[in-house]
Each structure stands twice: as C-alpha cells, then as structure tokens.
Amino acid sequence: MEQFRNIGIIGRLDSVTVVETLRKLHAYLIDRNYQVILEENTSTMLPGHGLQVASSKLLGEICDLVIVVGGDGSMLGAARNLAKSKVPILGVNRGRLGFLTDIRPDELEDRLTEVLNGKYIEESRFLLDANVRRNGQSLGFGTALNDVVLHPGRSTRMIGFDLYIEGEFVYSQRSDGLIVSTPTGSTAYALSAGGPIMHPKLDAIVLVPMYPHTLSSRPIVVDGSSEIKIVVGAVGSNFPHVGCDGQTDISCAPGDTIYITRRPFKVRLIHPTSHNFYAACREKLGWASEIAAS
C-alpha cells in the first residue's frame, strides 16, 4: 500500500456543510503532520488557512492522495482533471446519493485513519472522450467519467441520427437523444432512462436511447474499447447538444459527427475496506435488504 504524505483537498463551493467538513478534515490532517495542499477555489472557503494552494490539475502532480468533499458531481470534475496524473482520489459525501463519494461525514476520522494506515480498497474506472467534428474539423472536445449524452438542449424536437459501432451501421433513430455510459455512469442518468446497472469492474459501454420513437429500441451493451460514431441527421433535425457528465456542453448542427472512445488514462478511486458495490446499491437505490418473513 502507498504511503500518503502530501494530501490535496477539493471541496464543493457554496455549501455550509462542506465548509464544516473541510475544517474538520484540515484540523485532522494538520494535527497528524500531513502536508496539506488546498485546491485554489476551495481555499477561498477557508480564510486564514495558511496552507499551500494549487490548481486542481497541479494537485495531481504534487500530491500522493486527493480528498474530494462534496457530491458525485464534485468527484466527476476532480476525476476528469486528475486521471492523467494517476493520483488516487478519496471521496467524502456531502451530496445526495454518493456512489463515488462514499465516506459519511460522521465517520470521517475513523475511515480516514484506516485509509492513511494503508487499509483501503483501490479500483480503476475508465473515462470516455467525445469529439464533435464538422466537415472533418474538430468542433469541440469533452471527457466524461459517467456519460456522454446527445440531447436536444432547450428544444423540444426529436433528434434524428445514425449510430455506428466499430464502423458498422447499427440503426437510424429519432428520439430525444442517446446516453453513452460507462459502468460508473450506469447508476446515474442512464439508470433513469431505463439502462442496466453494470458492475464497475466491467470493461463495457452501454448505449441507452432517450424516448425513442419506436417500441423496439433497447439499450445496447458493447465492449469498452469500441469506437462509437453518431451522425446527426442532415434533414429534419434540430441543433442538438453533446454533454459530458452534465458539466461540459458542445453545440452541434445537422450533419455533424460525434466520435466517442475510451480515454487512455483511468481514474484511481480509493474506498474504505467496508465499501461494497451491492451494499451501495441497496442503500442508494432502496433495494430490499432481506426477504420479508412469511
């Protein structure tokens, strides 16, 4: 197990509860003589902290561990910035579901002590790159840990598009769009649209249609290394958008092509030893914990 000495902290902005946890985390680490580096925006929430400050990307170069305090959205942003540096990331949940930020604030010190003593579970999650091209020229680029989504933006019109997987034509469809999700994102937006839950260890991508204008369209699961190409219909389509994790948005036009591929760098996530994917599903999704006695 790695020895963590230089620890970066990223917090969700504009949250009183996050500030409370940041103060507790700061005191815990300083009392134990760890070198603490605050992400530059996070530092504004702790006036007078007296700590080193760095950009989120620089944290990956100078830290042995980065702790994210917030919700899954905060973790998604940190993951995209830190994946290339291969620094492990630990999440403290100050959001709602918390599939990625799985340490509760009330157990912060106990769980953090375990992790810093080398008792933790590590896993890798892959990301997706999305490249929108027009007439052979790149129009926009984005990265996603959860999903890449073709959606109508503010329009209420359906989108016409053609789907290709590994260069092979799959179908033409008219719908509200398409969700291209990693296993990490299968418990997020894709789940709401009727997609399957995929175990995080799977090397697979799921494509989930959004309100397709047909009764026979279903989610498709493909190999994680597949190249996915979406061609926006040149006739009768509106001007859709491509979103990455709901945090990056690229405007498209009829005839544009979206290429989606697996990113070469994976995110390293750290979990307490008590972490269990199925237990998280039971808790977050309201699954029954046991069969009721007859």
Nearest to 39 by CA among 71, 76, 81, 2: 81
Over residues 99-129, the pLDDT tens digits come to: 888 899 999 999 999 999 999 999 999 999 9
- Please say if 110 is a catalytic residue: no
Pairing state between β 159-165 and 228-232: antiparallel
Domains along the chain with CATH numbers: 6-126+266-285 (3.40.50.10330), 128-262 (2.60.200.30)
Show binding-site residues. Answer: 72-73, 146-147, 157, 174, 176, 187-192, 247
**Quick one: CA torsion of 100, 106, 107, 109, rounded to 10 degrees?**
110
Bridge partners of 231, per DSSP, are: 162, 257
Q: 23: which 2 tokens?
A: 């103060």
Question: Which pLDDT does position 1 carry in this prediction?
Answer: 62
CA 231, distance to chain mean position in Å, is: 25
CA 22, distance to chain mean position in Å, is: 22
Question: Helices 108-116 and 16-31, interaxial angle, to 10°?
Answer: 40
| pLDDT in single tens digits along all 294 residues of the chain | 678 999 999 999 888 999 999 999 999 999 999 999 999 999 999 998 889 999 988 999 999 999 999 998 999 999 999 999 999 999 999 877 778 888 999 999 999 999 999 999 999 999 999 999 999 899 999 999 999 999 998 777 899 999 999 999 999 999 999 999 999 999 999 999 999 999 999 999 999 999 998 888 899 999 999 999 999 997 666 789 999 999 889 999 999 999 999 999 999 999 999 999 998 899 888 887 666 544
Annotated active-site residue in 14, 64, 72, 203: 72
- Other beta carbons within 10 angstroms of residue 231's beta carbon come to 17
Show binding-site residues for NAD(+). Answer: 72-73, 146-147, 157, 174, 176, 187-192, 247
Do 145 and 79 form a contact (C-beta atoms < 8 A)? yes
